[in-house]
Amino acid sequence: MTGLPATTAPAKPETFDFDVLVIGSGPGGEGAAMQAAKHGKRVGMVEKYHQIGGNCTHRGTIPSKALRYAIFQMMEVNSNKLFAEHGLSAHLSFQKLRRTARAVIERQVQMRSTFYERNDVPVLKGTAKFIDQHTILVTEHDEGHKLVTAEHIVVATGSRPYRPAEVDFNHPRVFDSDTILDLAYDVRSATVYGAGVIGCEYASMFRNLDCKVNLVNTRDKLLEFLDEEIVDALSYHFRDRGMLIRHHETLDFVEPREDCVIVHLKSGKQLKTDILLYAAGRTGNTDDMNLEAVGITPDQRGNLKVNDHYQTAVPTIYAVGDVIGFPALASAAYSQGRHAASHLLGEDQLVGIGEIPTGIYTSPEISSIGKTERELTEAKVPYEVGHSQFKSLARAQITGQTTGMLKILFHRETLEILGIHCFGANASEIIHIGQAIMAQPAPNNTLLYFINTTFNYPTMAEAYRVAALNGFNRVA
């Protein structure tokens, strides 16, 4: 643990304004604040924006998923034969589709504001800067200053899109994942640089709007952390929809023009499209927090290093959510915040994190939990595979959403479920059935649950029984 500067005297315990001070009201900060408040602690929240909710509510998860759903609704109208027979179609501008997200954001802010009101958690509007390990200087929106002390501090400031200096993000045709939501005109073509989760999600959305899309990937495959069969299915589906994927490419420079933008790659390729969405990485929001005053040093991307209980190098200062890097999921951030709060409270039973499912909102969706085939093969675990193709399910045939599959990996001898991978409509919902069974103690976490359980018919949940029987037949 790094000591405080000699000139700074830490606040005495009896003079603390709060037991817990949280910086940032996104999912991680909210989870920490509510967990501590519910246990009778005096909790304060510092939020730099005028409204609570963090980047998740205002620039990330909520607006992008609301936009995706609006696009999906328009696609459904235009692909529905019944509507077509009656001459019905929908062609909405990007701006009009984006408006649906604003209503959702407003409802989210109103709802989350009540959490702080009901639990007597004051929200201090302004930016936070460390004075010492127990003292924060809050610079308020009216430029006023306020010193606040706390026994424990939780940093939940989130992250922002990484912006390399050589790319002109002030140009009206160059965007990142924050500014793309402010796109004020319709586009016919787009280059997405960066094929991570955010890049793939937006590439999906633009293709669903009938834009020509170049998806530039700096790696050899899309989303390499996923199971390879799922990655292959996503790549096939993207290409089948007309998307052009360019693997193992590196940006040379960007040439923005009045009517287009040209992306020059080091391979010599030149990609000319209406806009560029730069989506290659994110940076932790730790600038100007004066962390050096307490001996905490962010990494080169601004992320903070923490231990298993989300403590930084200073035990009384915790960090949760996107500011600590991977997995950078809203769902994980909330659980991390609750765990950090339960640890600083000294609880015997800490809030568990467990297996964290991935939810990737491409079109179709991807969700997974547990081990991949690659990981099991490298670990020399004797496993087998069970598949269920959505095209064979009655519910998928009824809805017309037949693209996709459910894949179960299980131990050949014990039948223990080791991993579940889903690709297709509502994958992020379907995965939770398997997650619940995987979390059960042995022998209740095996393939037999799905084989011996009656599922409603027709449902997408039936995919579990089909996949389980398919896998069981391989080892019976």
Q: Roughly what angle, to the nearest 10 degrees, separates helices 27-38 and 330-344?
A: 30
- Distance of alpha carbon 290 from alpha carbon 308, whole angstroms: 24
Q: Is 157 annotated in some ligand binding site?
A: yes
Q: Is 322 annotated in some ligand binding site?
A: yes
Q: Is 198 annotated in some ligand binding site?
A: yes
Q: Is 281 annotated in some ligand binding site?
A: yes
**Residue 217, CA distances (Å) to 223, 237, 301 in order:** 10, 16, 20
* Torsion angle in degrees (nearest 10) through CA of 433, 25, 113, 69: -50
SS3 446: strand
* Torsion angle in degrees (nearest 10) through CA of 373, 375, 378, 381: -70
- Distance of alpha carbon 188 from alpha carbon 213, whole angstroms: 9
Does residue 310 come out as left (phi exceeding 0), alpha (psi in the -120 to 50 range) or beta?
Answer: left
Q: Is 201 annotated in some ligand binding site?
A: yes
SS3 179: helix
Alpha helices in 325-447, H assignment, sequence order: 330-344, 373-378, 394-399, 427-438
Q: Is 227 annotated in some ligand binding site?
A: no
Q: Which residue has the tokens 């830490």?
A: 10
- The burial of 408, by beta-carbon neighbours within 10 Å (0-12 exposed, 13-18 middle, 19 or more buried), is given as buried
Q: Is 65 annotated in some ligand binding site?
A: yes
Does residue 275 come out as left (phi exceeding 0), alpha (psi in the -120 to 50 range) or beta?
Answer: beta
Q: Is 283 annotated in some ligand binding site?
A: no
Structure tokens at 96: 């009009």
Q: Is 3 annotated in some ligand binding site?
A: no
Is the alpha carbon torsion for 313, 314, 315, 318 positive or negative?
negative
Report the first-to-last Cα separation within the chain, whole angstroms.
Answer: 56
Let me know: does 388 contact 406? Beta carbons within 8 Å.
yes
What one-character DSSP code corresponds to residue 382? -
Is the alpha carbon torsion for 446, 451, 452, 453 positive or negative?
positive
Spacing of C-alpha 80 from chain mean position: 31
Structure tokens at 101: 């997200």
Q: Is 199 annotated in some ligand binding site?
A: yes
From the annotation, which residues make up the binding site for NAD(+)? 194-201, 281
From the annotation, which residues make up the binding site? 65, 157-159, 194-201, 281, 322
From the annotation, which residues make up the binding site for FAD? 65, 157-159, 322
